[in-house]
Amino acid sequence: MKKYHVAILGATGAVGMQMLESLLEQDFPIASLKLLASERSAGKTITMKGHSYIVEAADEHSFDGVNIVLGAAANDVAKKLIPHAVKAGAVVIDNSSAYRLDENVPLIIPEVNPQAIKEHHGIIANPNCATIIALVACQPLHAYAKMKRMVVSTYQAVSGAGVNGFRELDDQIEALRQHKEVEIHTFQHQIAFNLIPQIGSFDENGYSSEEMKMQNEGRKILNEPELQVNCTCVRVPVYRSHSESIMVEFEKPIDVAKAKELIAQGQGVKLVDEPEKSRYPMPLSTSDQDLVYVGRIRKDLSGHDNALSLWCCGDQIRKGAASNAVQIAKLLIASMEAKQCNE
């Protein structure tokens, strides 16, 4: 089996660390592995599953000899460094939103649009976390009955803000316990025992950037430019898993039994739907694993015969970010190897 020179850009963040873990877990064929981060983190040692790595400062020359870069850096760093990685001959799978809507960049969820891998020109974008989780949950239903409209309300974990998100929730709970003043650094307001209906900044239409991603990225990934998505994104005091309440209207009828059967057979999803036994997806039971759990599937009560409601949860750092990127990397090497065989 061919092995690859891999780099993780932004390796010291929550997603970067999870990329490292997911690469090792998924037995990715690694020839060499470079952990790249900011100057500040350079020289740090990261140990994962018995391997130790020394973090290097990322710059324009970091990508010489690298085949695959997993990007977990912020948009500005992505924009600055990724072109150099591409120039050096690497293929970059980028988790920032910098290139997601670029028409030369495929935006991929392996369970949904693996075929898009062929269209890359050096950059492949990893979608927004809430979008990945919603589309992995709905893909088996979409393939059968075609989604026309989604009304989504999210319940998003603090991990969406990385390591700082975890820390802020913990610090605030501890401050409250000690009757001290709560400090706010990462989110717009106190998140402990609260909900914040803002993720990202707001567009003029009143939707947040996170809310618009569900429609804009969803349309691109599904290649359904007419898909209508109404989304409300809310931060909740939960650590790792995002949850979503989704009402979907389909082009053709789909009953609950069929939907359950499709989810049970679907890729990347797990049906957990025995509400009478209090079994349904929850953030706690879906954390630190790669599947999106789907349950509470039921017929829409609000008058649309072709509509269903469902509830799904998935680990935001794993399937919502790092594991999806590593899955794309595996898809990429399979596609490169198939191409070489055909040549």
Q: How far is CA 154 from the centre of its chain?
A: 14
- Residue 338 CA to residue 116 CA, distance in Å, equals 15
Pairing of strands 307-315, 241-250: antiparallel
Among 160, 268, 281, 314, binds a copy of itself (CB under 8 A): 281
Q: Is 51 in the site for a copy of itself (CB under 8 A)?
A: no
Please report whether residue 47 would count as binding a copy of itself according to CB under 8 A: no
**CA 102 → CA 75, 105, 141, 164, 215, distances in Å?**
14, 5, 27, 29, 15
Q: Which of 26, 32, 104, 188 binds a copy of itself (CB under 8 A)?
A: 188
Question: Residue 225 interacts with a copy of itself (CB under 8 A)?
Answer: no
Give the position of tokens 């973090």. 55
Of the candidates 321, 151, 168, the residue with the CA atom closest to the CA atom of residue 242: 321
CB 116 within 8 A of CB 335: no
What is the residue-wise DSSP string for 201-254? Answer: PBPTTS-BHHHHHHHHHHHHHHT-TT-EEEEE--B-S-SSEEEEEEEEEESS--
Which of residues 61 and 252 has its CB atom nearest to a copy of itself in the complex?
252
Look at the block and give the residue holding tokens 């870069």. Answer: 69
129 is catalytic: yes
Among residues 96, 159, 215, 323, the one that binds a copy of itself under rule CB under 8 A: 215
Q: Binding residue for a copy of itself (CB under 8 A) from 45, 47, 52, 205?
A: 205
Kindly state whether residue 101 participates in binding a copy of itself, applying the rule CB under 8 A. Answer: no
Kindly state whether residue 309 participates in binding a copy of itself, applying the rule CB under 8 A: yes
Q: Which of these segments, 10-18, 69-77, 143-151, 332-340, binds a copy of itself (CB under 8 A)?
A: 143-151
Residue (56 or 273) nearer to a copy of itself, CB? 273
Active-site entry in 129, 138, 231, 312: 129
Nearest residue (CB) to a copy of itself, 38 versus 228: 228
Closer CB to a copy of itself, 195 or 264, in the complex: 195
Beta bridge partners of 48: 51
- Contact present, 9 and 69 (Cβ < 8 Å): yes
256 forms part of the interface with a copy of itself (CB under 8 A): yes
200 scored as a contact of a copy of itself (CB under 8 A): no
* DSSP state for residue 274 in the 8-state scheme: B
Q: Are 96 and 35 in contact (CB under 8 A)?
A: no
Query: Is residue 230 a contact residue for a copy of itself (CB under 8 A)?
Result: yes
Task: Decide if residue 288 touches a copy of itself (CB under 8 A).
Answer: no
253 counts as binding a copy of itself under rule CB under 8 A? no
Closest C-alpha to 319, from 142, 175, 139: 139
Among positions 110, 160, 295, 320, the unique one binding a copy of itself when judged by CB under 8 A: 295
Count, residues near a copy of itself per rule CB under 8 A: 58
DSSP 165: H
**Residues of this chain that bind a copy of itself (CB under 8 A):** 149-151, 153, 155, 173, 177, 188-190, 193-198, 201-202, 205-208, 215, 228-232, 234, 236-239, 243, 245, 247, 256, 275-276, 278, 280-284, 295-303, 307, 309, 311, 313
- For the annotated catalytic residues, the residue numbers are 129, 242
